[in-house]
Chain A
């Protein structure tokens, strides 16, 4: 077991506190948010995710341009992402929260999120036990740490502009539809 410095753990807690505060203010802690999104009745989760991705894309792109941060890309394991994503979606639909919003829902007093957190821990234990056996499936079709700009041989700035435009267009559509 490795233990990071107390300073870094406190920095994580501070960052997490802001994240949890925001998730609660965005009402993503309510069961209606995730379930409503999956049933296409409430778009607030997609509004939060797309706006966060667009603003973060610009922020992180600028940091990288000035050498202040390095990209942290997860490997494109086709097997792991397909299988894992399918299980994840199914579990999220039944739980009614995603991992982050479950922890935020627990903070705001939802009792089912306390059970959800226990389930999440059990799932993590099961994964630790299963990992040596399922590692070959997870790494099936491992294409490495790829990014969309790399795969399409285009400038990342084009993608920053694209995600901003797409987010704005989606927001305009949703506001127009719901007004």
Chain B
């Protein structure tokens, strides 16, 4: 069986390959992997084009100290989408359900509720990532592997906060 068509690889091999990819990124782009700064920069650029006054982009840019950019990281985010699409196609996956199993069983089958939660969760997560200047990629892997003190503080905090909210949401009994 062609390995690229397999539905799942061992998480250890996937992790090791991501470690090699991080090394390649540092060598070729001089940057480690990260997702959320591309969102901040794209949002700032869109705000500047569409609603510069209401969004006060001038003040944002002045306080930030440099101009937002369309760069390597924006390409990276687009690539992640394409790579996953390719993997799903190769392994012949059928279209996933709108509401995934764990949510359907523990919270409920409502699509509207699931989508509202996804929107709110995504917004909160992104706001937090930009406050901390990184996410599970930028801090969780890229910062952790460079032994950045900020990342070694970020990692336990997100898992503690996430576990507390998950337990409440999915009503897990001890």
Given A80-B131, A86-B157, A21:B84 Cβ within 8 A: yes
Quick check: B31 and A19 within 8 Å, CB to CB?
no
Enumerate chain B interface residues (CB-CB to A < 8 A). Answer: 6, 8-9, 11-12, 14-33, 35-36, 39-40, 42-48, 55-57, 59-60, 63-64, 67-88, 93, 95-96, 98-103, 114-115, 117-154, 157-167, 169-170, 172
Enumerate chain A interface residues (CB-CB to B < 8 A). Answer: 1-4, 8-32, 34-36, 38-40, 44-45, 47-60, 62-63, 68-78, 80-96, 98-113, 115-132, 134-135, 138, 143, 145-151, 156, 159, 163, 171
A151 to B151 Cα, complex, angstroms: 14
Q: Which residue of A lies closest to B31 (CB)?
A: A72
* In the complex, chain B residues whose CB is within 8 Å of the CB of A120: 36, 39, 122-123, 125-126
* In the complex, chain B residues whose CB is within 8 Å of the CB of A146: 148-150
Residue from the list A24, A91, A156 in contact with B84, Cβ < 8 A: A24
Residue from the list A1, A80, A88, A111 in contact with B161, Cβ < 8 A: A88
Given A47-B11, A56-B23, A91-B122, A128:B137 Cβ within 8 A: no
A3 to B27 Cα, complex, angstroms: 21
Quick check: B162 and A90 within 8 Å, CB to CB?
yes
A72 to B25 Cα, complex, angstroms: 12
* In the complex, chain A residues whose CB is within 8 Å of the CB of B60: 128-129, 131-132
* In the complex, chain B residues whose CB is within 8 Å of the CB of A38: 159, 162-163, 165-167
Quick check: B84 and A115 within 8 Å, CB to CB?
no
Quick check: A1 and B42 within 8 Å, CB to CB?
no
Q: Beyond A12-B72, A98-B140, list 4 extra A-B contacts (CB 8 Å).
A: A53-B141, A99-B129, A108-B96, A132-B63
Quick check: B47 and A19 within 8 Å, CB to CB?
no
Residue from the list B18, B77, B122 in contact with A22, Cβ < 8 A: B18
Quick check: A24 and B96 within 8 Å, CB to CB?
no
Given A60-B23, A74-B138, A104-B80, A147:B15 Cβ within 8 A: no
